[in-house]
Amino acid sequence: MVPPPPLRVLADARRLAETGGVRFELELDGVARQAFAVRWRGGIHAFVNSCRHEARELDFGDARFFDETCDALVCCHHGARYEPATGRCVSGPCAGARLTPLALELRGSELWCLGRLPQSPG
Ligand code: FES
């Protein structure tokens, strides 16, 4: 499996506000996939944008992934709640499943995605 080339997600990651999100597309195993990154508690985390319940995108296309409590990524379809740092589903119809995490790298102020984390499942 050949890793995808690094993809620049943001020219200036400092502009990603706390609980803010950004959508992007990357290629995994030759297939274009929707993905997103969020800032949460100062860190930036990225996942394939595919809920583990019905493989639908978590957001409505607006890059909003948190509800008002800002303590979980929430799927807009049936309310699955995922830990923002790990992608593990803590409640909802797919509790115990996990979003596919992506590797990020800061290069100066630029945010780059390096593809799937080595230990992550499809
Ligand atoms: S598709 Fe996400 S909870 Fe059902």
Which domain, by its residues, includes 107? 7-115
Q: Answer whether residue 71 is part of any domain.
A: yes
CA of 117 to the centre of ligand 1 (A): 23
CATH of the domain at 35: 2.102.10.10
Q: How many domains does the chain have?
A: 1
Spacing, Cα 17 to ligand 1 middle (Å): 25
d(CA 99, CA 4): 19
Q: What is the DSSP track for 1-42?
A: -PPPPPEEEES-GGGS-TT-EEEEEEEETTEEEEEEEEEETT
Tell me the pLDDT tens digit for each residue of 66-98.
999 999 999 999 999 999 999 999 999 999 999
Q: Does 97 map to a domain?
A: yes
How many CB atoms within 10 Å of residue 108? 8
- The string of pLDDT tens digits covering residues 5-28 is 899 999 999 999 999 999 999 999
Q: Is the CB of 14 under 6 A from ligand 1?
A: no
Q: Is the pTM of this model over 0.85?
A: yes
